[in-house]
Every structure is written in structure tokens, then in C-alpha cells.
Structure 1
């Protein structure tokens, strides 16, 4: 326990004594976490928007007259497809009555010879299945036509998914860059204290004893580097929700609620920053100790 407190104390002393050296790593972690926070907020809202679009997409499929008596069998066959979420049947009598209610009794004479088709309204489980479902339906003999959805909607969902994937790749690249830069910064800190390390080696200090204060420094870099991004995420997103700026710019987007989104992202930023700081320090000091053995 005494050794642990000693490592923590030395880590704090080293961090503040060589603050100018640590400053560049702090800046890197802060900027990386800011990017990460922004990308996580955007990605979450894009995910929510994609799900909303997917749940609202419906395919309208009228049934050819010669297949009307098979409607229930056709519905069961459609529901057996795992990519189809829901199939709602509407009779031509229902549609005709809606037409009469909306446009007047001049359409009432169609009750004697109803030209409207029975129809299915179909929802897919995920937007990525939309075009494939359209293609399958168009290949079947019973649909009169398939409408609602198609290429434009599929392309929009694909574009939103591409933004999510692109954001993930960018975050991964930034994290690798942050680990690399922190590793180099800790290396400078090690070189500035090379004499101190050599003295510890002479008196018989183990590698873990020498390494531990530098690991604490890395954790401190991660901790302090996450503070500003977390505050920006909390107050920035709160301002965005309250100001109405987002709804004014993007009328089709309903932003995700403050909680638990901001809390979860804050935890992710803190844990990620600590991990990046620790890894950067560990890589650097381990390489140095191996090289000087």
C-alpha cells in the first residue's frame, strides 16, 4: 500500500514538475476527446434518425383481383420472411369508403362494381432490407404494383449508415494518433529524467517500481485531458437542445434526449482518455526500460 501511495505521489510530482512537457499530450487528448464526443453525439442522433425512418417506411402493395381470395395465405407467407416486420391487410371496401368519405358521394356508385384493389401495407425489420423486399415483391405474380420506399429511401439510409461507419473509423484513427503522441511525450519526460532513472537502477529499483510513476502521469494526462471535452458535451448539447438551433437547421431531426446520452458519452470519454493515457505511457516507458537494460 505504501508503494502504491508513493507511485501516485511521484506521478503527481512528475506531472506538475514537467507540466510544459505534458502540455502537448494534454492538448492532444483534449482535442481527440472533443472529436470523439462530437462524433458520438452525431452518431447517436443519426442512429436514432435512421431507426425513425425505418419504422415509418411502409410499402403499399395492391393485390391483383384474381388473387383476392388468397389474401390470408399471402399474408402468412410474407410474415414468414424474417426481414418483414409487419403486414397489414386492407380490403378494397375499406378503401372505397375512405374515398367516399373524403371526396363525397359522387364515388358511391363504385360500390356496385368496386375497381379498387385489396392491399397489404408492409413494414420491414430494418431499412437495409427495403430494396431487397421490393425486388422480391416485384418478382411475385400477385402484386399489382409495389410503391413507397425504393432506391431514394434506401440510398438515404445507406448514406446515414456510411456516416456512422466513417465516424467510427475517424475515432479509431484519432485514438491511435493520441496513443502515439502521448507515447512520444512521455518519452521526452523520460529522457529529461534519465539521470534519475539511472540512479534508481543503481540502487536496485525494479522496472515496475520505475515504471509506475510514469503510468500515473499517463493516467493524469488522460484525466485532465477529458475534463474540458466532458464539460463541452454536457453544456454544449444542453444548449443545442434548449436553443432550438438544431431543429431550425434540421427540421426532420428530433435530437435524442439529454439523459442518458450525455451521461453515457461522458463515461466513455473519461474511460477512453484514461486508457489512452495509460497505454501511451506504458508503451513508451516499457520500450525505454527494455532498451536501457
Structure 2
């Protein structure tokens, strides 16, 4: 088959994919059963096994290669005077179609699974300002307790003596601890990497991300150490198939706050306290 026809068919396939995803999104139970708890755990485990031992981010290298390819292609297109627009259109369409397919097949379908509230059979209800105040107070109390356990002094600042790589390597201990109560959070074959894009991530305000094509959990290596344990736990939650940011935050807190390492507990309660205080301020200022 001629390349031009392949590009055209792939472009049409992209439109078909949009329809399929739209339909799939209406059946979260099926996604939960056959993808999130069926195919995806195997995909994630295989990728973590293959790429987890590599000390650098394979996914970031992939992004760099794709970025360079796009820049070169754009340069050639402009240099040739925008010729063969129809052919270029279908090439771009084919490229997007392939990326769209692998994004959803490898990880993206997790966006359409059941919510964590349903999975854990939690009650979701409205909360008042007083609830936020009490939550903030409880978290501050927990934070003080962990602070004192670390420093044995309520005025000294917490200094994390572990290296950042040690913090990343220890994330499995927290997941192993909570997996006794929540088996679906069992985590083997760690694949957590420092992002090669840490500097731009810092400027953009991102602390990490999951690469959906390589299933590597990426963290901004420039963040302060006291934030890193919670960020790492959060990104691993994405890696286990929890696409929602709020759900990854919940799991990240659950894992880090139950971690045997006090530094993880400190990081979890510090971040949760900040969220709670910010939410209290937002509600109280209305």
C-alpha cells in the first residue's frame, strides 16, 4: 500500500478513535474491569520492568527526539514553500492518530475508569467551613508531632538528611505498607526518574508528571527535599492507573502518611496542611 493511502487511513482512524473514546467514556465499569484492573496493570508492570532499571528518563529522550523531528519537518515544510499541503495534512493527521492511539491504549483510558470514591466505597459529601478549619487544625497537629519526632525540638527546622535519590528509591516502602489494606496499591518494579526537563518544569510550576508512552514517573529534581516524598508518591499513583489529579493526591497522601520513614510522613502532612489551609482561606474569604 502506498504511504499516501496509509496516512489518509490513519487520519480517518483518528476520527474513528474520537468516536470510540466518546462511547467508552460512558461505560466506566467496563473500563475499570477490563482495562484499569485487567490490561493496564500488565502494561504498567512490563514497562516498569523494562525501563525501571535505566538510570535516566527514557521517556524524556523520546520527547526530545519527537520534538527535534517535528522541528526539522516544519523547517523543511517552510523551506519548500508550503508545497503539497494535502499530503502534509494527512501526514500530520496520521502522526496525531498514532500518538492518540498509544496514549489511550498504554495509559489514557484510565481517565474513564470509576472514581476512587466508588472503588473504595467512600461517601462523598459537602463540607462546611468549620470542617475545613478542623481538618487544618488536625493536620497542623500531626505535622507538629512528626516534626518533633524528627528533630526532638519544636523550634528547629526539619532537615532531610537523605539524598534525593534515596527518597525516590524508598517510595515502594509506603506502597507496600498500605497494600496490606489496599491490595490494588501493591507496587513492584519501581520506575521513578528525575526529569531531564526539571528546570522548565520548575518555571512552569509543575512538580512532576507521568509519561504515558513509557509509564515512567517523572519528578522535578529541583523541588525542595521536603516536597519530594509526597510528589513521588503522587506520581506513582498515576503510574498505577489513577489518572485524576485529586485521586493521585489522595493516594499519595495515604501512602506517604503511612510510610515507615518520618520524612515521608512529614512531607505528606505538610502538603495536606497547605491544601487544607488554602481551601479554608478560599472558603472563608468569600
TM-score under structure 2 length normalisation: 0.25
Higher RCO (CA < 8 A, seq sep 6+):
1
Larger Rg: 1
More helix by share: 1
User: Taking structure 1 as the reference length, what is the TM-score of the superposition?
Assistant: 0.25
